[in-house]
Structure 1
């Protein structure tokens, strides 16, 4: 399995496929406006990757970097490419690309009352199998509480706030409702 990572640009041949996958893979309440993601990806420290496997387009990876911190905002593998190890391979590659950095992501917390509880359990198990660890921190965005998983070290609220300020700017970062919770 040979993965290729290419920075997404509006004229990329897979731009439309990435937008469609993004819209299908993430629920409304967990999606930032796609245009904002594309525009922010022009900034230094923001990586919007189009992923190909053995020459075939396979998914997307969106990472925001600040100092020694890298936040996986979004990772999605095309439905046609799931279940054959591409997601695991993407994470292994990301760990190499961002080696020496604290790499983290947020997943919906396990809640037995949620409609997609089993999906949440499977997602968490996947990331744990891929070498991520529980950081025993949570984020709240609107009504959704996320659990933080990572590799390379702990992530504190001040680290996250600095990353978001760097990504979104002073004014816009105040509009983000995501915050660390106990």
Structure 2
């Protein structure tokens, strides 16, 4: 496996592939906030970085990150289903961790009553195996509760400031705990 990457923008041909991939792997409600890649204003924000990943020239997946002060918010990480389980996700996180010091992300809260609890647990274990830890803080938006995971010690207040910034742009409302 030889994973290459490049940073693209909304005008790239690969951006269309990202939109197709999103429809394949994400529920519709997860594509709305806090980062909406289809929003031209958000997509043109210089703090939004979209990494596309390739193996032998074949598009494997992407990561969308938002840089806020010293934080790097991993808004999306998606890999085509046929390439999932082949260590691409771990390799992508290794690349991101080597380029950014403080990565923060959220995953669906591990609610034992959730219909997809097994998938949530697998996702949690995947991020933990890649060096992320549960911050024990949560955030809720659009009717979903998320656990906040970090790659290193992150001041929770900085994370909240970033989400307050998103809120000020009218991206969405949220509740944090």
Asked if TM exceeds 0.5, the reply is yes
Look up the match of 1:108: 108
Look up the match of 1:133: 133
> Does 2:161 align with 1:162?
yes
Counterparts of 1:4-43 in structure 2 under 5 Å? 4-32=4-32, 33-36=36-39, 39-43=41-45
2: CA distance, partners of 1:72 / 1:152:
13
Aligned counterpart in structure 1 of residue 176 of structure 2, from 157, 164, 180: 180
- Gaps spanning 5+ residues in structure 1: where? none
Contact 1:46-1:64 at 8 Å conserved across structures:
yes
2: CA distance, partners of 1:131 / 1:153:
12
Number of aligned residue pairs: give it. 174
Contact 1:135-1:155 at 8 Å conserved across structures:
no
Moved more, 24-33 or 59-68: 24-33
Contact 1:139-1:179 at 8 Å conserved across structures:
yes
CA RMSD of aligned residues (A): 1.9
State the shift of 1:95 in Å: 0.1
Contact 2:37-2:43 at 8 Å conserved across structures:
no
2: CA distance, partners of 1:127 / 1:87:
9
Contact 2:73-2:104 at 8 Å conserved across structures:
yes
State the shift of 1:56 in Å: 0.9
Using structure 2 for the length normalisation, give the TM-score. Answer: 0.89
Counterparts of 1:49-64 in structure 2 under 5 Å? 49-64=51-66
Using structure 1 for the length normalisation, give the TM-score. Answer: 0.86
State the shift of 1:146 in Å: 0.3
